[in-house]
């Protein structure tokens, strides 16, 4: 019983360790599809992907560059592009313009 209480206390004191196990971030591009986001980037924000596995990109034009999407690309794609790709999130947050049938 003491070991169980000690384990519960440890878990309660270290919630950040469990928060890092899973990572979710909503992607407001391409219908929340991390695979397309990591492959294409956001050219409208004046950057293109160079190395998706590492989250590296190249700025095309500094004048129209928007760092918000580029920083999101670094976070999401360096983790394998799976941060938003759970089956529930894909079907629940579908883009209404997407005419493909739900999977």
Summarize pLDDT for 41-58 with one digit per residue, the tens: 999 999 999 998 899 999
Q: What is the pTM of this model?
A: 0.57
Q: Residue 24's pLDDT band (boundaries 50, 70, 90)?
A: confident
Backbone angles phi, psi at 56, to 5 degrees: -95, 145
SS3 category, 20: coil
Give the count of domains, the chain. Answer: 1
pLDDT in tens, 58-95: 999 999 999 999 999 999 998 875 444 444 444 445 55
- Name the residue range of residue 37's domain: 23-88
């Amino acid at each position: 019983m003491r070991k169980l209480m000690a384990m519960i206390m440890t878990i309660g004191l270290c919630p950040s360790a469990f928060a890092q196990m899973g990572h979710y971030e909503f992607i407001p591009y391409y219908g929340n599809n991390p695979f397309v986001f990591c492959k294409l980037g956001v050219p409208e924000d004046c950057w293109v992907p160079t190395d998706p596995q590492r989250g590296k990109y190249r700025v095309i034009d500094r004048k129209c560059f928007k760092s918000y999407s580029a920083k999101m690309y670094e976070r999401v794609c360096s983790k394998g592009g799976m941060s938003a790709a759970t089956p529930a999130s894909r079907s629940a947050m579908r883009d209404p313009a997407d005419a493909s049938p739900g999977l």
